[in-house]
Structure 1
């Protein structure tokens, strides 16, 4: 992480403009990126405020762990949105044109440091906060990844928001599917398996299904086709150790609310 200049701020730090941008997130998790683009000035103003404020250079502003974590989650997601809008409508996947470059190829000034998305996730969030729920709150601009919420993360509601983000991810049949004695899980649950296992009580840390079970719904009334806790219990037994796990590749297509014409 390289140093960056810290511009003076014209007003106190807030999420008002960012909240306005997030109104373009649909209830199904897709994003109206065209409308976000029309809010570009508002989005850019919020990103510019990140250069002046962060928990690293202004601990007086972000005094609690909840304020700090909410800041970093919102910062990450806003930077992802800005980078998508930069490439829209030609960008169809964050995997193009170079694998992974979307997350490490660009750095922003954030509170006196220059940070890539990769550094923000791995060197800040994963290092400073031992909360694996962050992986379900970080927007990857991919249909198969965590969904973007329609409101900023707020310190006073953060625990409930992180729980809801986790339940939303587990309740999506693309991420958790029980098929006989086989459980198909999103590759994200394998990539960050150690983070999830470390959060479990002693005696349960060998099985990522224990973490999955904690956030599965009891019924699928709100998410038809999802897997439930009872489904997992019946398939895998009370210790959740009788199933074969298969990790599926994420769908990296852009979660665009607009219908796109097929490429020629």
Structure 2
């Protein structure tokens, strides 16, 4: 979730031939995972389910928070997270069905983000974990290796998920360990019923104040809708139309009279449980 990234989407996938190219440049690039190649396999996410059940919970304010302190202090849970990430990294994602591929990459992103935070804990914001002296945030550092390709969080989100699926709901699937980010799911993503699950995540975010706030006729939105406006249609009107599709009836009615976005905001405070 690198902020202020306004790169446009490329049509879903760079094509099967590009995804399977044997040229060294593409073979070592995230682009090899963005083609339409798919198999029939599924991945096992039960270990991530168990960790989320123990260490993540929905707070009263509607934000899913993570017990990073407790997780950091549990050698067993840290080991279990690493084993889960290693197990995913050892799979060939192209052997999975297309919905399972999406779930695979979203779960890998979320699990790797949690591990990045745990390795640096305690931190007040994920942006305090730097990729380099000049780059705030961990998003450009290599976090996993899949199929011989070193991948950063940015690679997974922008080069694989956004380019491979061209679906704005990508932004509701990945969690950047921050208050204003769409919620970390309390159960790992699955290919089965993926569409309805992503729609539910979109509704939860759009109908929460950190997604959309109206003060009279003044509309303030999460900065996600500004940073990635191209994913949501590219104009204020199209972003508002996206919001309206996922808004509950009272909010949708109010959005019907709005034609521009007045402001955007984002809170990078860590999404930790109280007392961390």
Give, in whole Å, the separation in 2 of the partners of 1:27 and 1:97.
Answer: 25
Please, which of 145, 149, 152 is the counterpart of residue 185 of structure 2? 149
Please, which of 80, 99, 111 is the counterpart of residue 113 of structure 2? 80
8 A Cα contact 2:220 2:265, kept in partner:
no
Give, in whole Å, the separation in 2 of the partners of 1:156 and 1:13.
Answer: 11
Structure 2 matches for 1:24-35, cutoff 5 A? 24-28=55-59, 29-35=64-70
Structure 2 matches for 1:1-150, cutoff 5 A? 3=28, 13-23=43-53, 24-28=55-59, 29-37=64-72, 38=74, 39-55=77-93, 59-60=94-95, 62=96, 64-88=97-121, 90-96=122-128, 98=130, 99-150=135-186
Offset from partner CA, 1:141-174 (integer Å, 9 cap, x none): 0001111010000111211110011011101112
Normalization by structure 1: what TM-score? 0.79
Normalization by structure 2: what TM-score? 0.76
Equivalent position of 2:23 in the other structure:
none
Kindly state the Cα deviation for residue 25 of structure 1 after the two structures are TM-superposed.
1.4
8 A Cα contact 2:179 2:270, kept in partner:
yes
RMSD (Å) for aligned C-alpha atoms:
2.2
8 A Cα contact 2:65 2:272, kept in partner:
yes
Offset from partner CA, 1:147-205 (integer Å, 9 cap, x none): 1010000111211110011011101112201111210001100111111117xxxxx99
Offset from partner CA, 1:19-68 (integer Å, 9 cap, x none): 1111121123111113333211110101111221132xxx33x0x21111
Change (3 A) 1:159 1:211: same
Give, in whole Å, the separation in 2 of the partners of 1:79 and 1:229.
Answer: 35
Q: In the comparison of the two structures, how many residue pairs are matched? A: 227
Kindly state the Cα deviation for residue 3 of structure 1 after the two structures are TM-superposed.
4.4
Give, in whole Å, the separation in 2 of the partners of 1:100 and 1:126.
Answer: 22
Give, in whole Å, the separation in 1 of the partners of 2:92 and 2:182.
Answer: 24
Q: Unmatched 5+ residue regions in structure 1? A: 5-11, 199-203, 220-227
Pair 1:210 & 2:241 matched: yes
SS, match of residue 179 in structure 2: coil
Give, in whole Å, the separation in 2 of the partners of 1:193 and 1:54.
Answer: 32
Q: Unmatched 5+ residue regions in structure 2? A: 1-25, 30-41
Equivalent position of 2:252 in the other structure:
229
